[in-house]
Amino acid sequence: MIDLRSDTVTRPSDGMRQAMAGADVGDDVFGEDPTTNRLQEKLADLFGMEASLFVPSGTMGNEVCLKCHTRPGDEVICETGAHILNYESGAAAFLSGIQLIPVRGEGGILNVAQVESLIRPIAYYYPQTAAIAIENTHNSAGGTVFPIEKIEALSRLARDRHLKFHIDGARIWNASAASGVPVARYAACCDSISVCFSKGLGAPVGSAIVGSQALITEAIRYSKIFGGGMRQVGILAAAVLYALENNLDRLAEDHANARVLGEGLAEIPGVRVNLASVQTNIVIFDIQGTGLAVPDALDHLRANDLLVVPFGQTVLRAVTHLDVARSDIEAALKIFRNVLHPN
């Protein structure tokens, strides 16, 4: 089975499992897990920030940051396709009592004029704008990279207007690999950044929040409230340390495989791919022109040992990752051709 549903489906390698089995552990709620502490120190250094906090998931990372940056009734400006708006089960409203105000960007990318137009005036009858949140890379836009110059411009706007600035960096590793921009430069723009290890880096579980010491001190409390207090979590932190040491440099392979996949899909009659959006490891493609309905396409692909996910009424998404080789991509394209254009 070729599984292109997501880069979250990766399994720990033998080396990663060995690192997990040999991890030195303690009670992390007491701050006594040495492997987790080492990971958090490494992340703070890598991102050029004061501190970090290992958390179970990217959703928790994002939601803890939003909680730290807002009060109930506040607003946060984000892009229409943002993960925090669409894929976190309404958590911002449920957990923090805030509103997310979406604005449609181009390829998931916002500009200063768009955001500035949505910042509320100070008046008692208005909800107050508390923060700006962006996503890099942008999942629903096809893994597009948010240009660093635009991020820096938004960062200046946030500072000038006394707003917090959060980056959902679930795939910041892919953004850095594709752009050549160090993750520390991205982090220098924001008050908080959440990063994920269970996608392109191939760890089984885990994300982190990186920011100031004051932010992380507050984040620890909210993480505990949200159920994120973990005990001998060094077993998972060891997997992340292994991933950071062994899997960062190979992300370019995933990007190259996605490009081959995107170009191959674009050659199939009836399939539309915006190749300009295939910048990292995500390929989104429209099959409306094939006459095949998405549920039927998924069934036929699965019957031929290929898995992808629906991403709209006529749209599918495929994601490359470390468990997918170039030969798998070539085999997947043959299956796509047979299913989507059998004549």
Enumerate the domain spans of the chain. Answer: 7-246, 250-340
Query: With 90 as the cut, is the pLDDT of residue 330 above it?
Result: yes
pLDDT tens per residue, range 38-78: 999 999 999 999 999 999 999 999 999 999 999 999 999 99
Give the pLDDT band of residue 343 (cuts 50, 70, 90): confident
Query: With 90 as the cut, is the pLDDT of residue 92 above it?
Result: yes
Half-sphere exposure of residue 125, counting CA atoms within 13 Å on the CB side? Answer: 0
For 90: left if phi > 0, alpha if psi spans -120 to 50, otherwise beta; the answer is left
Mean pLDDT of 272-288: 96
Strand partners, 167: 134, 193
What is the pTM assigned to this prediction? 0.95
CATH number, domain 7-246: 3.40.640.10
CATH classification number, 250-340, choose in 3.40.50.2000, 2.40.50.180, 3.90.1150.10, 2.40.70.10: 3.90.1150.10
Cα radius of gyration (the chain): 20
